[in-house]
Amino acid sequence: MLIEGRSNLTQFLIEERRRHPRATGELNALVTDVSLACKAIAARVARGALGQDAEREPTLQFARDAFTRACEWGGNLAGYSACGEAPATPIPEPYPRGKYLLLFEALDGAGNLDINHGVGSLFSVLRAPQAGATPGDTDWLQPGSSQVCAGYALYGPATMLVLSFGNGTHGFTLDPQLGEWMLSHPNLQVPRRTREFAINASHSRFWEPAVKRYVDECLAGSGGVRGADFSMRWIASLVAETHRILLRGGVFLCPRDGTDPQRAGRLQLLHQANPVGMLIEQAGGCASTGRHRVLTLEPEALQQRVGFIFGSADEVERIERYHEEQLLDGGYRSPLFGQRGLFAPV
């Protein structure tokens, strides 16, 4: 039965399962468990400082435990991996082990809790190479194109759950009176063009020439080579940035920089870039390292980090082209600022 003309999450999952007659329902059950964890986290986050009682676990630990408590018992998972924690965790006895692997960031943007700003949860689901067995270290190292589901929850004025099973990207809003996720944003689409970009300018001294070139051109505005004025954003939450881009377009840059020569980027490939990449691509956008499509990368380690650029296709493709040209000519010379650029050090 439709409520107010909208499907709820359960109805949506049933329809998705009907697209695949051989499906057993385990993936639907796992997503339902994840959605329950997100409801619990939403309730905790909504309490703000009232939920930070010194005698109770911190909200960040509560969020991680909410994921594990909700998902480990149902027999759908062989193991799970929390962002920033190594190694991964096999499903413990006496729970049965299933055929999926869950990677999650329980509370993205946790630093925003103190200022009552955007936070969220992010997750990715992979197939376990051997259902029912303890996952090996290499079982987790699958490219983003192997994901069977990805999604996030955003805890804001309205709590939203955004999902993709490889057939578009769809948004659900939590109805606080019904306690149900209602389909509010079916088939989200990222516009190909945008006049909005998000980047942490405090790291500008470490940017590669291609990124400096792109940002300089955007900041030059209508009088520059782009012939248009751009707005710059930065929320310090990957989930919140993704949500904004899905709803109104834009491009997000957390590029490879020179702060640590041993690290290719700041964001984790398996726990952050891959799920966001799937959601963005299924909505018509692009997700890249600046050099390669994110979802084609073969992971080398569970907690591997990458540079990450995603959003409106025209802008991401432009940035990739600038990286290619950087390799060809060895650098970028701004017509106004020489090699320095607007943000480069003197």
What is d(CA 133, CA 90) in angstroms, rounded to the nearest whole number?
Answer: 9
What is d(CA 149, CA 123) in angstroms, rounded to the nearest whole number?
Answer: 8
Question: Across the strands, what pairs with 161?
Answer: 153, 172
Check if the beta carbon of residue 65 is closer than 8 Å to that of residue 78.
no
CB neighbours of 193 closer than 8 A, spacing ≥ 6?
249, 312, 314, 315
What is d(CA 312, CA 328) in angstroms, rounded to the nearest whole number?
Answer: 25
What is the DSSP-derived secondary structure letter of residue 217?
H
pLDDT of residue 113: 85
pLDDT of residue 24: 81
What is d(CA 246, CA 143) in angstroms, rounded to the nearest whole number?
Answer: 22
Cα distances (angstroms) measured from residue 156 to each of 46, 229, 243, 251, 308: 8, 29, 11, 21, 24
Check if the beta carbon of residue 335 is closer than 8 Å to that of residue 222.
no
Known binder of ligand: residue 200? yes
What is d(CA 224, CA 227) in angstroms, rounded to the nearest whole number?
Answer: 5
Instruction: Estimate to the nearest angstrom the gap between the alpha carbon of 207 and the chain centroid.
Output: 22
Of 88, 69, 74, nearest in space to 135 by CA:
88
pTM of the model: 0.92
pLDDT of residue 5: 67
What is d(CA 110, CA 97) in angstroms, rounded to the nearest whole number?
Answer: 31
Check if the beta carbon of residue 287 is closer than 8 Å to that of residue 277.
yes
DSSP 227-292: -S--EEE--S-HHHHHHHHHHH--EEEE--BSS-TT-S-SEEIIIIIHHHHHHHHHTT-EEESSSS
Instruction: Estimate to the nearest angstrom the gap between the alpha carbon of 338 and the chain centroid.
Output: 35
pLDDT of residue 21: 77
Dihedral sign from CA coordinates of 321, 146, 32, 75: negative
DSSP 37-103: HHHHHHHHHHTGGGG--TTS--HHHHHHHHHHHHHSSSS-EEEEEETT--S-EEPPTTSPP-SEEEE
pLDDT of residue 69: 96
Per-residue pLDDT of the chain (346 residues; tens, 9 = 90+): 455 668 999 999 999 888 877 778 899 999 999 999 999 999 999 988 776 654 446 889 999 999 999 999 999 999 999 999 989 999 998 899 999 999 999 999 988 888 888 899 999 999 999 999 999 999 999 999 999 999 999 998 999 999 999 999 999 999 999 999 999 999 999 999 999 999 999 999 999 999 999 999 999 999 999 999 999 999 999 999 999 999 999 999 999 877 777 778 999 999 999 999 999 999 999 999 999 999 999 999 999 999 999 999 999 999 999 999 988 776 555 444 344 444 443 3
pLDDT of residue 119: 95
Segments in 112-269 forming alpha helices (H): 209-219, 238-248
pLDDT of residue 253: 98
Cα distances (angstroms) measured from residue 117 to each of 77, 113, 140, 158: 32, 6, 32, 13
Find the angle CA(15)-CA(281)-CA(291) to the nearest 5 degrees.
Answer: 155
Check if the beta carbon of residue 257 is closer than 8 Å to that of residue 285.
no
Is residue 13 within a helix (H) or strand (E), and if so which, with residue range?
A: helix 9-18
What is the DSSP-derived secondary structure letter of residue 24?
-
Is the N-terminal amide bond of 90 cis, ω within 30° of 0? no
